[in-house]
Amino acid sequence: MRYSATLLDHFLHPRHAGLMREPDGVGSEEFEGCGDLARIFLRVRDGRADEVRFQAYGCGPTIAAASVTSERATGRRVEDLVNVKAEEIEAALDGLPEDRRHAATVAAGALRAAALDALDRRGGAR
């Protein structure tokens, strides 16, 4: 297996890429094996991720995974984002080659960290 059409689309046309001023939550995750990094920014309204932006550095699958993560997180309850797993991100990309599975792990980890940060900032219980 190489790359799915969904992965290629998110890599070539990333959604929600870029910084966010004054986010309600920020999280990052890095894969030390190659240095791939994702940073997720959340704007929270009424307990939901109203806006999600990302920065990603690394291979194409990591950029695509961060892009699809930003789409899947938008509109969801912040408490639910704390439990997002890499498997959900990988499935949203229609799969990843074995040697690129770290991309989903990095994106999911950054989202979980951002959700935890948002909850901590508002003083909410997990």
What CATH number corresponds to the domain at position 20? 3.90.1010.10
pLDDT given at position 2: 86
The total number of structural domains that make up the chain: 1
Those residues whose C-beta lies under 8 Å from the C-beta of residue 38, and which sit 6 or more positions away, are 28, 29, 54, 55, 56, 57, 58, 62, 65, 66, 69, 106, 107, 109, 110
pLDDT given at position 124: 55
**Structural domain for 69, as ranges:** 5-122
Please give the chain's pLDDT, 126 residues, in tens.
589 999 999 999 999 999 999 999 999 999 888 889 999 999 999 999 999 999 999 999 999 999 999 999 999 999 999 999 999 999 999 999 999 999 999 999 999 999 999 999 988 544
pLDDT given at position 67: 98
